[in-house]
Structure 1
C-alpha cells in the first residue's frame, strides 16, 4: 500500500518539479522578495533531503516524510508567489498550480494508515528497494535495447553507403558502356555510309562499263553486217560491170547479135536492184555502227570527266546522257533513200525531174 502511495507521489513530484522549473526560469536574474527566496531555498533543501534518503535506501515511511516536506515547502512557495504582486501577472497562476500539486501530494500521505514495528518498516524498505531494482532493470533493458537499435541503424547506414557506392560504380560502368555503344554506332553509321558510297560508285562504274560494252558489241555486230552487205553489193556491181563490159566487147565482133546484148543489158539492170539494196542496207548498218561506237566512247569517257565536276553538275549531266541514250528514236525516216533501187523507181524519178521544169514554165507563162 505504501509502495503504491510512494509511486503515485513520485509522479506528482515530477509534475511539481516541472512547474517549479518553469517558475525559476521566469524569475531568474530578477529582483524578488526575500521571503520568496527563502521559500525557494527551503524547497531546494527538501529536494536534497529526498534525494539523500533515496541514495541511503531508507524506509518507505522515511521517504514519504521527505515527500511530505517537499509538498509543505512547495505550498509555502506557492503562497509567497501569490503574495508577490509584481510577479503575479507574469507567472499566470503558477502559484496556484504549485499549491494544488502540493496538496495532492500531501493529502494522501497525511491520511495514510501508519503501522508501527521494525519488521514492517524493514519489509517496506525491502519492497521499495525491490521497486527501485525493477526500475533499474527496466532502465538497463531499455539502454541495451537502444544500443542494439543504434547498432542496427549503424549497420544499415553502412550497408546503405556500400549500396550507394556500388550503384555509383554501376552507373559509371553503364554510362561508359552507353558511350562506347554510341561511339561504335556513330563509327558504324559512318562506315556504312562510306561503303554505300563506294558501292554506288562501283555499281555506277560497273553499269557504265556494262552498258558501254553492250554498245561496243552492238557496234561490232553492226560493222560485221555492214561489211557483209557491202561485199554482196560489190559482188553484184562486179557482175553488172562484167555483163555490160562483155556486151560492149561483143559489139566489136562479127558474131554480134543484138538480141543477146539486150538480154544482157536487162540482166545487168536486174542485178542493179540487189546491188542498190545491199548498198543501202550496208549504209544503214554502218550508220548504226558509228552511233553505237560513239555512245560507247561517251560512256567510257564520261566517268573520269564527271569525277571533277560538282555533285549537282554530275546529276544534270547524268540526266542529259540518260535522255539521249534511252529517249525514243525517230524511225520515220528509215526506208527513205536518196537513190532508187530498181528500174521502176529510176523511171519515176526521171519523170519527176522532167515534170518539174515543165510545170515551172507553165506557171511562168500564166503569170
Structure 2
C-alpha cells in the first residue's frame, strides 16, 4: 500500500468520528464509567498504532477491515444514544475488540512506544470527575423531582381528605334524601292505591251501566233488523215475481214481435192496393156511366163509345190486380196476427201443465209454425175475375140493341 493511499484512507475519518462521539456530553452522561474508559483507551491505542504503522508493509484489505469494525462500533454507540438499549454498547465493545485484534497485526517499527500511562491515568481521573459531576447533576435532578413529588403527594393527600369529607357529607345527604323519598313514596303509594280503588269502582259502575244500555240498544237494533229483513224479503219476492213476468213478456215480445211487424207490413200493403183498386174502379165506372149517358144523345159516335169501353176494359185489369193483391196481403196479415196471438198466449195456457207436456205441445207448435208452408197455398191460386173479351162483346151487343 502506498503512502499516498495510506494518508487518504477512510480509517482516519473513522478515528475522528470516534473521537467526536466520545467528546459528547450525552455520551459521558449515559455511558457508564467502565465502558467510557474502555472506549477512550481503544481510541488512544488504535490511533497510536495507526500512526506507527508502516504503510508499505500493510495491506489495503487489512486497513478496510479495521475501518469497517470501527464504523460498526461507532454506529452501535449512536444507536445506544437513540434508544438507550445497553445491548448496543455490548455490540460496540465486541466490534472494538475485533478492531484491536486486527490492528495488532499491523507492521510497526520495533521501538518503545510513546504510550504514557501517567497521562492515561490522568485522563481516566478527568473522565471519572466528569462522570461524577454528571452523576451529581442527575442526583440533584432526582432529589428535586422527589421533593416535587412529595409536595404533590401532600397536596393530593389534602385533596383526598377534602374529598373524603365531601363524600361523607354527600352520604349523609343521600341517606336523608333516601329516608325522605321512602316516606314520600309510601304516602304517594297509599294515596294512589286509594284513588285507584275509587276510580276502579266508579269505572266498573259506569261500564256496567253503559253495558246495559248497549245490550238494550243491541236488542232494539236486532228487532229492527229482523223486521227490516222480513220486509226486505217480501219486497224481493215481489220484485222476483215482477221480474219473472217481465221476462215472460220480454220473451213473448221477442218471439211474437216479428209476426207483428210482418202483419203490420201486410196491412199497409193491403190498404195501399185497396186504395189503388178503388181508384181504378172509380175511373172504370165513370167511363161506363159517361158512355151510357152519351148513348141517349143525338150525336152518338160509335167509335168514341168503343174507345171508351176499351179503355174501361183496360182499366178493369189493374183494378182486378190491385183488388187481388189487397186481398192477398189482408190474408197474410190475418195469418201473422193469429200466429202472434197464439204464440203470445201459449205460455199462460200451459203454465199449470207438467214440463213433459209443455215440451210436447211446444214441439207440435214448432212443427206447425216453423218450416210449414201449407197456409200459403192460396198465393198460388189463379183468379180469373175481371172484364174478359166475351163480356165486352155482350156489353156492345146490349148497347146496339138499346140504340136500335
Q: TM-score, normalised by structure 2?
A: 0.34
Larger Rg: 2
